[in-house]
């Protein structure tokens, strides 16, 4: 029964993939472009995530980590930036991509829930999507992560009775291509904390929004 991690070719996804494997958990990683040992999947394309599900060939999936994400509006100016195309491109990955991946793998998650009593979906969101912390700027990324968190909360409601728990996580400010070299923590530190959170996730805590270190985050 493999865990599945999207966007596992670099950054936090690669570190989560490695951490799961180190803990002896059979894990399949996906990457947008062909990468040795990974299944190719662009989470914005329905046919691509459907092919991922097909590739898994009916195997139950006990853990799906929706990690793939983009931050495209770091340098935009309120007066004349934030073009509609950037909104679409960001939401396609950070929101639609999460939904399409969950939808495509739902039969395999349900099968894992039947076989072992529960299955889990982990959504890598961000504290930048928390409406309780409106620091301003980066409107597109913030709105997309708020939507991803909201999606996770509603999936938690709908999937509870199917035995599928949904957790939503902030990975910390992490030294990746997205986080930059000045960020607080390393990829491996973040991944070790996140995987502990995934292990603790249950139907009793479904819908939680947690920091990588386990602290609760306000929605």
Ligand X SMILES: NC(=O)c1ccc[n+]([C@@H]2O[C@H](COP(=O)([O-])OP(=O)(O)OC[C@H]3O[C@@H](n4cnc5c(N)ncnc54)[C@H](OP(=O)(O)O)[C@@H]3O)[C@@H](O)[C@H]2O)c1
Q: Does residue 27 interact with ligand X by CB under 6 A?
A: no
Q: Which neighbouring-strand residues pair with 169? A: 124, 210
Q: Does residue 29 interact with ligand X by CB under 6 A?
A: no
Of 5, 52, 93, 151, the one binding ligand X by CB under 6 A: 93
Q: What are phi and psi of 45, to 5 degrees?
A: -110, 120
Q: Does residue 101 interact with ligand X by CB under 6 A?
A: no
Q: How far is the CB of 163 from ligand X (least distance, A)?
A: 26
Q: What are phi and psi of 155, to 5 degrees?
A: -65, -40
Q: Does residue 142 interact with ligand X by CB under 6 A?
A: no
Q: Does residue 18 interact with ligand X by CB under 6 A?
A: no
Q: How far is the CB of 115 from ligand X (least distance, A)?
A: 27
Q: Does residue 69 interact with ligand X by CB under 6 A?
A: yes
Of 178, 195, 201, 203, the one binding ligand X by CB under 6 A: 178
Mapped onto helix, strand or coil, the DSSP state of residue 181 is coil
Q: Does residue 62 interact with ligand X by CB under 6 A?
A: no
Q: Does residue 52 interact with ligand X by CB under 6 A?
A: no
Q: Does residue 124 interact with ligand X by CB under 6 A?
A: yes
Report how far apart, in Å, the C-alpha atoms of 169 and of each of 65, 104, 172, 195, 208 are. 10, 21, 9, 11, 8
Closest CA relative to residue 7, chosen from 23, 35, 25: 35
CA distance 172 to 180: 12
Task: Specify the residue, 164 or 194, whose C-beta has the smaller distance to ligand X.
Answer: 194
Q: Is the dihedral of CA 188, 191, 197, 200 positive or negative?
A: negative
Enter the DSSP assignment of 173: S
Q: Which residues bind ligand X (CB under 6 A)?
A: 6-7, 9-13, 31-33, 42-44, 67-70, 93, 97, 124, 126, 170-171, 173-174, 176-179, 183
């Amino acid at each position: 029964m493999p865990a599945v991690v999207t966007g596992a070719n670099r950054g936090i996804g690669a570190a989560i993939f490695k951490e799961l494997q180190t803990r002896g958990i059979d894990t399949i990683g996906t990457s947008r472009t062909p990468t040795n040992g990974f299944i190719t999947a662009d989470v914005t394309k329905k046919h691509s995530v459907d092919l991922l599900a097909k590739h898994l060939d009916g195997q139950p999936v006990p853990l799906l980590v929706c990690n793939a994400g983009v931050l495209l509006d770091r340098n935009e100016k309120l007066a004349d930036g934030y073009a509609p195309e950037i909104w679409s491109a960001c939401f396609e990955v950070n929101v639609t991509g999460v939904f399409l991946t969950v939808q495509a793998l739902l039969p395999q998650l349900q099968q894992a829930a039947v076989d072992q009593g529960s299955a889990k979906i982990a959504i890598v969101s961000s504290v930048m999507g928390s409406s309780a912390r409106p620091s301003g700027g980066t409107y597109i990324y913030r709105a997309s992560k708020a939507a991803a968190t909201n999606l996770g909360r509603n999936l938690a409601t709908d999937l509870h009775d199917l035995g599928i728990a949904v957790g939503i996580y902030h990975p910390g400010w992490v030294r990746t291509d997205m986080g930059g070299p000045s960020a607080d923590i390393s990829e491996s530190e973040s991944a070790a904390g996140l995987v502990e959170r995934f292990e603790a996730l249950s139907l009793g805590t479904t819908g939680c929004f947690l920091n990588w270190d386990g602290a609760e985050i306000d929605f």
